[in-house]
Chains A and B, each alone.
Chain A
Amino acid sequence: MLILTRKKGEKILIDDNIEISIVEIKGNKVKIGIDAPKDIEILREEVYRSVEQENIDATRKIDLDSLKGLKKKKDK
C-alpha cells in the first residue's frame, strides 16, 4: 500500500483522471474530496463490507417450508 502524508488543501492524482483532495481536517475526521469519472464506483469501505457480509449470511441453507406458508402481502 502506498502511504502519503498530505496537509489540508493538498491533493493526490491517480492515473490522469482521479483527483483526491484533503478538504478539511478536524480532530480525528478528514473531509476528502474525490474527483473521478462517473464510471468509477466510490464507496465507504464499511458499507461495502456490510453488504458483503450480509450476502454471505443470507446464503445459509434454511427450511423453506416455513416461507411457503407466508401469505402474499397486499400490493400497495
Chain B
Amino acid sequence: MIIYNKYSLLRHIWDKIIFNLVNEPWGVIMQIQTRDFGAIEIDKEEIIEFPEGIPGFLDEKQFVLLPLDEESSFIIMQSVNTQNLAFITIEPKNIISNYEFNISDKTEKLLKIKGIEDIILLNVVNIRDSIEDMTINLAAPLIINIKENLGKQVILDNSKYPVKFKFETEDDQTQEQSAEEMMG
C-alpha cells in the first residue's frame, strides 16, 4: 500500500527534455502527429506505456506528456498513435492538498513500482463549454511510474473523490478556500 505524496512532474519533464537535448543527441527520435501542436519530434524514451489502455480507449497504449507551455500547470497527454486523441491533465497538487488513496498490489506490480518516488499523478481535466465550467476527475487518477515509463488510470472505488470536481486556477484566495472546504 502506498500513499501518494507531492511531486513535481513538470520539473521532471523539463529536466528530461533538456537532458535528452544535452546528453543524448543520438537517442531514438521519432516524429508524431499531435492534436494541439502539429507534428513534433519525440524521443522514444518519452513514451509512457499504458498496458491496459484507458477506460473508453482500451486500445490506446502509448502516450507522451507535453507541457502546455512554461507558464501553465497543464500537461497534454497525447496519444502516440492517434493524432486527435489527447487529454488535458494537471497534477492534483495544483488543485487540492491531502489527495490520498491506496495503490493496490495489482497496480504496484503492473507499473513495477518500487517506491513513491517513482510515481507521479495526473488527473484528467474536462473543459465543458467554457473554462469556468472546467472540472477535474479526482475519482480516477492517472498513475505513472516515470522510472519505468508505465502508466494506468486507476479508478478509486470510494465516493470520497468525485469524477467531476469543479475548480479554478486563478490566484484567488477565496476560491482556493472554498475548494478546500468542499474537500472537507
Binding site for B on A (CB under 8 A): 38-44, 47-48, 50-59, 61-62, 64, 66-68, 70-76
Contact = CB atoms under 8 A, between A and B. Distances in A.
A48 B88 contact: no
B137 A54 contact: yes
Main secondary structure on B side of the interface with A: loop
A51 B87 CA distance: 13
B163 A52 contact: no
Q: Which of A41, A53, A57, A59 has the most CB of B within 10 A?
A: A59
B114 interface: no
Given A51-B56, A61-B35, 8 more contacts: A48-B55, A51-B137, A52-B55, A52-B56, A61-B36, A64-B68, A73-B73, A74-B176
B51 to A, nearest CB: 13
Interface residues of B, number: 43
B164 interface: yes
A53 B56 contact: yes
B124 A71 contact: no
Contacts of A62: 127
A64 B171 CA distance: 19
Contacts of A47: 139, 155, 157
B74 to A, nearest CB: 6
Interface in B46-86: 54-57, 68-69, 71-74, 84-86
A69 to B, nearest CB: 8
B12 interface: no
B31 interface: no
A15 to B, nearest CB: 17
A76 B97 contact: yes
A70 to B, nearest CB: 5
B124 A55 contact: yes
A22 to B, nearest CB: 20
Given A52-B55, A71-B71, A76-B93, A58 B170 contact: no
